[in-house]
Amino acid sequence: MSTPEKDMERQQAAYLDRLAKCHSAILHDVMRAEGLRNFTLPSTLRPLIPGQKMAGPAFTVAGRVDPSAFGHETLLGWTGMLSKAKPGHVLVIQPNDSTVAHMGELSAETLKYKGVCGVIADGGIRDSQSILDIGFQVWHRYHTPRDVVGYWLPYGIDVPVTIGEVRIFPGDYLFGDRDGVVRIPRANLDRVLLLAEEAMGKENLVRTAILEGVDPQEAYLRHGKF
């Protein structure tokens, strides 16, 4: 029996299947051509697993430093955030901090078990080898053994966050590969995917022409893509 929830799950699965065939450069190019701006996350972010793609709608978290917070309070806030994380989503954390780790082994295990697609943290990571071992993708800026206890608290769940020049709203789609991460506004997702698929088809035609000895400029003029 079809329900709105089941229909949404099927649609999201179809989006993720189509995104899995894309790459960030194509998505960047079609969004640029569409006149979109500020959709490429900073190059200071790095994937823990460089060759592993990550895609999904954003589940966003904003946090703040509070050195006066008790350890129990910070752990309640942290585990409460993990409890609310949505399966099939990318957890996006704007910690407003450059000191502690905002993802570690037990948190990554929890999120993977829940079906979360990956994490983008504009901050730190620890327990990196353990997270690598379970194959869970975490984009981050730095490594540190220091954790959030008695120092950091989440204060906003499913709220807009900003990383670099990119404003990310809950439900926007994030796509990351070896080249970087782009944000696809939810309202533009269908068109961006369609244009990306068309562009990849043209790229294949150009590639074939080049391998057949066609001059690169002629290949570009013939297919309108390079």
The whole-angstrom separation of Cα 74 and Cα 152 is 6
Task: Report the binding-site residues for Mg(2+).
Answer: 127
| Long-range contacts from 156-159, C-beta under 8 angstroms, 24+ separation | 156/60, 156/61, 156/62, 156/63, 157/60, 157/61, 157/81, 157/84, 158/59, 158/60, 159/60, 159/62
> Residues at the annotated binding site?
126-127
Binding site membership for substrate: which residues?
126
β-pair type (118-121, 138-140): parallel
Rounded Cα–Cα distance for residues 42 and 149 (Å): 27
Is the dihedral angle over the CA atoms 68, 120, 194, 114 positive or is it negative? Answer: negative
Euclidean distance between the first and the last CA atom of the chain, given in angstroms as a whole number: 46
